[in-house]
């Protein structure tokens, strides 16, 4: 975590420069809301918008921009080809920037209809290897092999990140999620590494759970979980399960960290293509990602101003888009957030 705090960020004339990757589907409209809210909150951030199309040069430019700025906010980038030789640009960005950890803080919003209430779980996911190694090939006709890569070094830094996070944030327990009973070498290494790292943190309880049981426990008794660590694909699935319990894809944000760069995005990383352009997408996940980004940049008062406006809008006023069972349009939610910002008694400036 110390390393994360040391990430360099671009700042010119007192304003931060951040790369914005709108991506496909609902990404562009959600980014428009972020810009609008930042304008009214007076957030000292300028965006360098990079649209990633099908050209490889687009991806190169995005990477150059993030390396220059240190920080990005991102929607999901669509990779249309189904060919194994065309890699997901989302995965390519995370790998190229070595964003080895993804953090999803799944905290219930009071007042939002949900299957489970009062959830407060932190999912910490290995973000660059495992089942996302993208090493697949057809060895002979009709036989496909897919490599799941687990390394001790990456398992070690994810586990260490999780225990440091737990220590810093007053969390009590870290649970390693795995399938080491079947994947004895790969998940076995991940589990053993986390057990070894746990010994350096005697004040934090450590236990482990098999992924299958974990999914059942999450939907039936989710309150037993505190901080969870897991490999890449389990992380994606478990994140989606918990987001579903709390209120769906439109609410929570996720953070991607490496030793040098940080990317903020909606927690479930969906494209939302089917609802794009209809003014019904929930803007909260992307706005929460922008709040995370402001906190990361040190603009804590602006972050708090926007966060409070979000909470008032969805918990007290209950201005909810259809995914939360409401009938508000995306722009109704954003407008109410802006109204709260304008009426706030605490101003960062
Ligand atoms: P999707 O984009 O269809 O979304 C799943 C559901 O959540 C849909 O019903 C959608 O309407 C809803 N939803 C998503 N965001 C919402 C919002 N802000 N407000 C209200 N409802 C919202 O997801 P799907 O089918 O899983 O994936 C679509 C594409 O995204 C695929 O190409 C997939 O590969 C990619 N994807 C990439 C991920 C990554 O890690 N890069 C993770 C998940 C999906």
Q: How far is the CA of 267 from the centre of ligand 1 (A)?
A: 10
> pLDDT for 160-180, tens place per residue?
999 999 999 999 999 999 999
CA distances from 109 to 176, 245, 318, 324, 329 (A): 26, 11, 11, 11, 19
**Cα–Cα distance measured from residue 117 to residue 114, given in angstroms and rounded to the nearest whole number:** 7
The pocket around ligand 1, CB under 6 angstroms, is made up of 25-26, 76, 78, 90, 249-250, 269-275, 281-282, 285, 323
Mind spelling out the 3-state secondary structure of 276-309?
A: CCCCCCCCHHHHHHHHHHHHHHCCHHHHHHHHHH
| Helix (H) or strand (E) segment spanning residue 36 | helix 27-41
> pLDDT for 88-117, tens place per residue?
899 999 999 999 999 999 999 999 999 999
The answer to whether 157 and 101 are in contact (CB under 8 A) is: yes
What is the structure's pLDDT at 7?
A: 55
What is the structure's pLDDT at 10?
A: 83
| Helix (H) or strand (E) segment spanning residue 228 | strand 227-230
Q: How far is the CA of 269 from the centre of ligand 1 (A)?
A: 6
What is the structure's pLDDT at 186?
A: 97
Going by CA atoms, what residue is nearest to atom 18 of ligand 1? 250
Going by CA atoms, what residue is nearest to atom 10 of ligand 1? 272
| pTM of the predicted model as reported, rounded to 2 decimal places | 0.94
Look up the ipTM and state it: 0.91
**Cα–Cα distance measured from residue 135 to residue 245, given in angstroms and rounded to the nearest whole number:** 32
pLDDT one digit per residue (tens) for the chain, 349 residues: 444 444 567 888 789 999 999 999 999 999 999 999 999 999 999 999 999 877 778 899 999 999 999 999 999 998 777 777 778 899 999 999 999 999 999 999 999 999 999 999 999 999 999 999 889 999 999 999 999 999 999 999 999 999 999 999 999 999 999 999 999 999 999 999 999 999 999 999 999 999 999 999 999 999 999 999 999 999 999 999 999 999 999 999 999 999 999 999 999 999 999 999 999 999 999 999 999 999 999 999 999 999 999 999 999 999 999 999 999 999 999 999 999 999 987 666 5
């Amino acid at each position: 975590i110390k390393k994360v705090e040391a990430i360099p960020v671009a700042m010119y004339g007192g304003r931060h420069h951040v790369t914005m990757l709108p991506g496909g589907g609902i990404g562009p409209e959600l980014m428009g809301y972020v810009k609008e809210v930042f304008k009214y909150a007076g957030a000292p951030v300028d965006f360098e918008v990079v649209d990633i199309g099908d050209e490889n040069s687009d991806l190169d430019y995005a990477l150059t921009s993030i390396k220059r700025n240190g920080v990005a906010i991102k929607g999901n980038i669509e990779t249309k080809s189904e060919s194994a030789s065309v890699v997901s640009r989302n995965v390519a960005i995370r790998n190229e920037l070595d964003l080895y950890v993804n953090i999803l803080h799944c905290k219930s919003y009071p007042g939002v209809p949900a299957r489970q209430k009062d959830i407060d779980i932190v999912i910490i996911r290995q973000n660059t290897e495992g089942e996302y190694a993208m090493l697949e090939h057809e060895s002979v006709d009709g036989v496909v092999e897919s490599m799941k890569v687990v390394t001790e070094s990456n398992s070690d830094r994810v586990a260490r990140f999780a225990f440091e996070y737990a220590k810093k944030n007053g969390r009590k327990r870290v649970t390693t999620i795995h399938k080491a009973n079947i994947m004895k070498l790969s998940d076995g290494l991940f589990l053993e590494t986390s057990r070894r790292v746990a010994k350096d943190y005697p004040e934090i309880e450590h236990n482990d759970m098999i992924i299958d049981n974990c999914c059942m426990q999450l939907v039936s008794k989710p309150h037993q979980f505190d901080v969870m660590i897991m490999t890449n694909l389990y992380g994606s699935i478990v994140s989606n399960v918990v987001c579903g319990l709390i209120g769906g894809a439109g609410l929570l944000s996720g953070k991607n960290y490496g030793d040098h760069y940080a990317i903020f995005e909606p927690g479930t990383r969906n494209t939302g293509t089917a609802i794009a352009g209809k003014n019904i997408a929930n803007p909260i996940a992307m706005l929460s990602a922008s709040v995370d980004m402001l906190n990361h940049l040190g603009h804590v008062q602006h972050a708090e101003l926007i966060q409070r406006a979000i909470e008032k809008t969805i918990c007290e006023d209950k201005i909810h888009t259809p995914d939360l069972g409401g009938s508000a349009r995306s722009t109704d939610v954003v407008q109410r957030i802006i109204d709260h910002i304008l009426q706030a008694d605490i101003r960062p400036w």
